[in-house]
Structure formats: C-alpha cells, structure tokens
Amino acid sequence: MDARFGMSGQRRRGGMRWWVLVLFAGYLGYYWLSHRHEASFTGRAQMVDTTMDQEVALGLQSFEQILEQSQVLRSGETVNDVREIARRLIDAGPKLEKYLVSTRGIVATTPWDKFEWEVAVIDSDQANAFCLPGGKMAVYTGILPIAQNDDALAIVMGHEIAHAVLRHGAERMAQQKLVQLGSVAAGMSTSDMDARQRQLLMAAIGVGTQYGLTLPFSRSHETEADHVGLMLAAAACFDPSASIGLWQRMGAEAAGNAPPEFMSTHPSSNKRIQRLQGWMDEANQIRAQFCENPQ
C-alpha cells in the first residue's frame, strides 16, 4: 500500500506548501517594483497598474450610471455655488503642484490634460460627495447643512479631488488584485492540511488581511486626501480653519453610529481634527503664498 495512504485508503493530510508562499512573495516583490510610481503632491511611492486613460473610462462609466439613478439639480444658486467652488479648486491644483515641486523636490506630476472635469449636484439626504478617477464629481445636497459655508464645502470637495489626483482608486484596484491572488496562493499552500485546520487558518488569514491590510490602507488614503485637500482649499483661497468645525459637526452627526476606528475605512473624526490642526500652519502659509489678502 502507498505510504501516503492510511488503512482507509484516504490520503493523509500534510502541512503547508511553503514553496507556494515563497513564489507568491517573489511575485509580489516583482509586481511592486514593476508598477511602482511616485504620487503627485506627496512623492509617496504607490503601486498603480492601470493607465490614466483606463481610469478616465472607468470613472465616466460609473458617473453616468450614478447620474441615471439620481435626481440631479440642473440649475439654481446651489448648483452655481458648487460649480464655482469646484472651478477654484481645479484651477488651484496645477499651481499648488508646481509650488510643491519647486519647494519640496517632488518629481511626479499630475497628467492634468487627461482629466475631464465635471461636477453634478445630486438632490439627496445623503451627506456625501465624491470625485471619480478622471475628474467626474458629485456633491449631495445632504452635505450642505453640515458644511454650512463655502469654506467647509471646499474642504470636502478638495478632499474628494485629492483622491482622484492621487490615483487612490487605481491603487485600491491594484491592491485588490494582489489580495485575491494572495488568497489563491494561501488556498493552494494549505490544500493538504486537515479540513478543519485549513478552514480556521483561512478564516484567520481573511481577518488578518481585512484588519491588518485593507482597512489601514483605506484609512491612509483618507488621511492623505485630508492633507492634500486642505492644501488645495488653501491654495484656492478658502479658509483652511473651516476644516475643524466641519469635522466637529461630522463627528456629532455620526455620534453613536460610527464603528471603532480599526473596523472602519476612515479615521475617527477626533483623529482627523488633530491631524488637521497639525497641518494648519502649512495650510495658512500656502494660502498666504497664493492669495493676496488672506484673512
């Protein structure tokens, strides 16, 4: 009888196939190095495996689908105000980036010619806004009572624009591909294990990936967008200090409903406020650089 089989004729279960994980680790290193880019505005190393043309097409497709299912306001004072805020932020972007390149030695720049900017106002109680890859933006009217003024709304919109110009969507897609491949590799490496032991191990890997990689990665994007969005608003001559009151109101709005930070895709409101306060001197300096009479 084959030594690999017991008296029952069933194949004995073994341990981990470590060679599968070694191969995956090697591929992960190769993938990172071959798709490594420097983020604009910050100079941070990021992994992106899509082109801007692909991102623009995906953003446009998603935008059209959202608008088809939404009640879009076509005109009025609110629409005009939102469009004017967007215009100022978009105009400030290349100027701010040029300033950061000259003063901080950042090499990467945004391919501004690829962006097809458009902003819509959606009549909804949802307190939200977004900017998709390629520059398609929307502001939901539910955010307006929380923002209360143009300065705070510019902070919100600057944050969303920052997600787009920093290519966070493309980064998340690349990360998801590797997470899926890692799940396949983990499944292959544990295929000879006892079924119950394998189930527990795969569940632990899933939880570890979620709380140790995916959620922290998302929170880091939110923090980066907070920072760059604050600088964009300041360069567009909005008052960066409005960000503090905004997040105090956002925190009050979410009180009792927000999950613990380690379970969330976003940092807590208190942590965001602390970081914004730490960036305030920098934001005020940028505002003074770009605006004739900052108040």
Could you give the angle at the alpha carbon of 243 between the alpha carbons of 237 and 245, nearest 5°? Answer: 130
Give the active site residue among 97, 160, 171, 222: 160
Residue count (the chain)? 295
Q: Catalytic residue at 222?
A: no
Could you give the angle at the alpha carbon of 118 between the alpha carbons of 114 and 121, nearest 5°? Answer: 155
Phi-psi region of 41 (alpha: psi -120 to 50; beta: other; left: phi over 0): left
What letter would DSSP give residue 122? E
What are the E-state strand segments in 39-135? Answer: 45-47, 72-73, 118-122, 129-131
φ, ψ of residue 145 to 5 degrees: the values are: -65, -25
Q: Which residues are catalytic?
A: 160
